[in-house]
Structure 1
């Protein structure tokens, strides 16, 4: 089998994805039903929150849930509509209308699919932990703010910043002629929140969100409360339809599709990694995930979702965690979760259509509060100023500006602090000469370069060595490079400039300990060529120091040392 064929097979489903032994099959069925019950109110809520409607949330949970489970790279991942995707999709719907969602979903899916085929699945490992937590906190804030209009019984005004929309909704509710709709909506939210917070304390296996929604819906129906409902839902899955593709639509939605694809890839890979860690903790050695195959599966899931009128799909961390904790063994559990929601579409759309929007708002508000724990926030803030700054900047940009930009800016900030730390850990030290002191040693300077000689530290190292060499009547400089961990092109060029500058001032430069991994770069940029003689390159420190002392002795014969700065001793 050729390497290309083997690589392609790694991206495809296989028989080993499933275990149909009775015990495993039973565990997967029970876990799938549990996750399906938990996912139902979230699918409805995220569909409404995105601006497309509850039906799109259900379709996404079913279609994308099955496709991602079968074709994805995780045994435990549960995919569907998520809060982050609802947040990034809402402005698209407000600007281009609900009809644009099908095309942008398919386009985003194709981008994610191509990323998987191109083997870009490991890119998520370059997203630092403070960025992930800051992004999660920002998403939680946005989800909470998005629910404020429904929580006070006021229609949301799309197309604006979520904080502005929330404040406007509060003002509209306060200035209304009657407070009855707002009070009823707030009562629904409060009852949902209390139920979701108290039921898990009685028994952790109770699907608190579903019980809360059922309880509030029954109460509202019984008293005939004036609250907005989900409304009519389709009683079956819609037929797949290819979205209309025109050059104008591609220009308008191309940027949004790339942003959605980036978010889908990052969120799915993070969720899959969390699932693998949780499953491995419960059964060491029992779970891994394939990031490239996961991107392929998620890309195809979004394409399928768009064809059926759904929204972009990603791995859902909360539902995936429930799946793992419920004892799921294989991806069959995620398939069963989607089938449970499909059964609701065909058998229970009537009752589901009567669910108050305020009840779904309450579910998402509680969910957003659980997304980031105070313990995690304290851990990030206590990890140092750089981690705290990265966390805060990422969270702020997520809420105030854009989700994908938040990740990009967060990574840049984290990279800046990391480079600064590496630069501070890199430097130059003047060491005493080994062995007994000899006359003329004060005119030999031994510099030890350590850490990384890169663009962040090169200028400082060059300046320190040059200043010490020029002002201390130094005749020979020995540069120890054996402790340099990394040298980049800027660092190599700076070393060449250092040697050239010292030699031009009459200071002989000897280099000791060039590592083989750095030799090619130093040679290619001409740093070693600046040495006066090829014999000025040493592997032994003692040999380099003895050669330096011989230079001083020859230069000082018959001449005061301060006057020999212009001499050019031979090798």
Structure 2
């Protein structure tokens, strides 16, 4: 068994030779990301069916821990859009207390995955599955925001896809045009606001300096502040954070144990696995994106999983929700000049300072504005161009991607990933079985049938070996298999060769193997087939076999 992964946060190595210039860059990036994270943390929490302060607590505490303990220089952690549908469904089905318990358990599972060096396994999930469930989650996020975007009078949105469609259709008569106009305006601001962070610095006309300053402000903040001022200035009839939740406390919540019920906890296996699986996939995908954007050392996937696990084990005791790496905030951090985990810790400190100083102002934020922001998040989250490119790819790729997408929308992420992985495995087995083939070769030695084997002899391909004895021509006393193109063999393949040897022996014929590679040779020796074939049953290659035949006078 390989040794456990050593717990060694990237911050320990990143802070060696840390300079004043790097700190200034991290400070600026951290403040920028903190401002960007503010509206997203609130919006993600509300969309997930919990209070807005729970999103802020998650961004502050989990964001700090993920940066301080993680395996990436620049990854930013916190509540993520991918969790919205999952968290909302768990809250509706199991309650908030069980969501917190499932988050703690998922954190422990993530730590265990990191310790056992399983971080690399996440990379083996086919890209078709990742695209399928990501696009499916984006659709569900967008659907969940239509209620607030349209200002519909719906007391509680169902958690399932068809239930949400039915609820929206029943209440379309209660559309609030002010909410719709404000939400669409926020979408336009977020989409069109200049977000250029890599701008040339220096002195110039005041208009140029003002343009640079405004361009560095995130569009989400501009949309949120503008919509709030407009709604209050015109006294628009809109639902706000204050009217639904009573505002946001001007402090962090204290440590508290969630209500634990063993009967409820026994039902949390699927939610726990779902949170852990999605958190692992999202965080490591995000870290890989960040690696491709910088020249900094690549992330340590196992350390990143352990940091995500610790954060998710801690934050529920302060009322927080699941956290993971977030692509939008990580990209913002990189573009703003972040170069070490310090920028992520500054981002958390910035959010904390905003909560302590300005939390009461959040009660005036219209929910339609947050819905507009989240619709843009959902749009940016999906890889919609992949649907247009589907015709370029194979039927298995299309089936897995579309199947995962539909199952995510109609059922849930866990079912989608499970079915997607099963389909991927079945298609892989089929593909590998088609690559395995046995081809006859001409033989100059009378009474022998020569065949060359290509590919991997595994359980999905044994049918092509089992019937070889019946294909031999009359008068054949020896079947020679050239195996130098056989790259691997499993125990089912070994059993097929054993049965072939026994069948030939009963018919008065013999089996000869030539050109064995290391792995097949080892398994054939350990499985007893080499002994059954005898000293003349295995040769280094066809040349050696032909030489042995000449010496025997054949």
Q: Is the 8 A contact 1:481 1:514 kept in 2?
A: yes
Structure-2 residue corresponding to 1:446? 450
Structure-1 residue corresponding to 2:220? 209
Structure-2 residue corresponding to 1:171? 170
Change beyond 3 A, Cα 1:303–1:128: same
Residue 400 of structure 2 is aligned to residue 398 of structure 1:
no
Residue 248 of structure 2 is aligned to residue 250 of structure 1:
no
Alignment map for 1:112-151 (pairs within 5 Å) = 112-151=110-149
Q: Deviations over 1:106-160 (max 9, x none)?
A: 2222222222223222221211111111121111111111111111212363443
State the Cα distance separating 1:221 from its structure 2 match. Answer: 1.1
Structure 2, unaligned runs of 5 or more: 197-211
Residue 334 of structure 2 is aligned to residue 324 of structure 1:
yes
Farther off after superposition, 56-65 or 536-545: 536-545
Counterpart selection for 2:48 from 43, 47, 50: 50
Counterpart selection for 1:512 from 504, 514, 518: 514
State the Cα distance separating 1:172 from its structure 2 match. Answer: 0.8
In the aligned structure 2, how far is the partner of 1:11 from the partner of 1:327?
A: 21
State the Cα distance separating 1:245 from its structure 2 match. Answer: 2.9
State the Cα distance separating 1:504 from its structure 2 match. Answer: 1.6
Counterpart selection for 1:343 from 338, 350, 353: 353
Farther off after superposition, 114-123 or 43-52: 114-123
Q: Is the 8 A contact 2:466 2:496 kept in 1?
A: yes
Q: Is the 8 A contact 2:71 2:303 kept in 1?
A: yes
Residue 461 of structure 2 is aligned to residue 457 of structure 1:
yes
Change beyond 3 A, Cα 1:509–1:257: closer
Farther off after superposition, 106-115 or 355-364: 106-115
Residue 381 of structure 2 is aligned to residue 371 of structure 1:
yes
Q: Is the 8 A contact 1:185 1:227 kept in 2?
A: yes
Farther off after superposition, 540-549 or 125-134: 540-549
Q: Deviations over 1:496-537 (max 9, x none)?
A: 111211222222322212233222311333333443x42222
Q: Is the 8 A contact 2:88 2:159 kept in 1?
A: no
Q: Deviations over 1:169-201 (max 9, x none)?
A: 232122x4xx4x2x1221122101111122138
Counterpart selection for 1:190 from 180, 184, 188: 184
Q: Deviations over 1:245-270 (max 9, x none)?
A: 33223223343223212221222122
Q: Is the 8 A contact 1:145 1:163 kept in 2?
A: no
Q: CA RMSD in A?
A: 2.4
Aligned residues: 531
In the aligned structure 1, how far is the partner of 2:497 from the partner of 2:421?
A: 30
Structure exhibiting the larger radius of gyration computed from Cα positions = 1
Counterpart selection for 2:525 from 517, 523, 526: 523
In the aligned structure 2, how far is the partner of 1:254 from the partner of 1:396?
A: 23
Change beyond 3 A, Cα 1:46–1:152: same
In the aligned structure 2, how far is the partner of 1:358 from the partner of 1:451?
A: 58
Q: Is the 8 A contact 2:128 2:400 kept in 1?
A: yes
| Secondary structure of residue in 2 paired with 1:157 | coil
Structure-2 residue corresponding to 1:301? 311
State the Cα distance separating 1:378 from its structure 2 match. Answer: 4.2
Q: TM-score, normalised by structure 1?
A: 0.87
| Secondary structure of residue in 2 paired with 1:534 | coil
In the aligned structure 1, how far is the partner of 2:16 from the partner of 2:415?
A: 39
Q: Is the 8 A contact 2:9 2:68 kept in 1?
A: no
Q: Is the 8 A contact 1:11 1:293 kept in 2?
A: yes
Residue 277 of structure 2 is aligned to residue 267 of structure 1:
no
In the aligned structure 2, how far is the partner of 1:26 from the partner of 1:536?
A: 72
Alignment map for 1:401-550 (pairs within 5 Å) = 401-433=411-443, 437=444, 440=446, 443-463=447-467, 465-469=468-472, 471=473, 473-531=475-533, 533-545=534-546
In the aligned structure 2, how far is the partner of 1:334 from the partner of 1:114?
A: 24
In the aligned structure 2, how far is the partner of 1:26 from the partner of 1:490?
A: 61
In the aligned structure 2, how far is the partner of 1:514 from the partner of 1:538?
A: 8
Q: Deviations over 1:381-436 (max 9, x none)?
A: 52322222221111112111121232222222222222222211111111113xxx
Alignment map for 1:556-567 (pairs within 5 Å) = none
Q: Deviations over 1:523-562 (max 9, x none)?
A: 333333443x422221231342465689896xxxxxxxxx
In the aligned structure 1, how far is the partner of 2:24 from the partner of 2:365?
A: 32
Structure-1 residue corresponding to 2:205? none
Q: Deviations over 1:425-478 (max 9, x none)?
A: 111111113xxx56x3xx321000111011111112332x23421x45423211
Structure 1, unaligned runs of 5 or more: 554-571
Q: Is the 8 A contact 1:492 1:522 kept in 2?
A: yes
State the Cα distance separating 1:67 from its structure 2 match. Answer: 0.9
| Secondary structure of residue in 2 paired with 1:348 | helix
Q: TM-score, normalised by structure 2?
A: 0.90
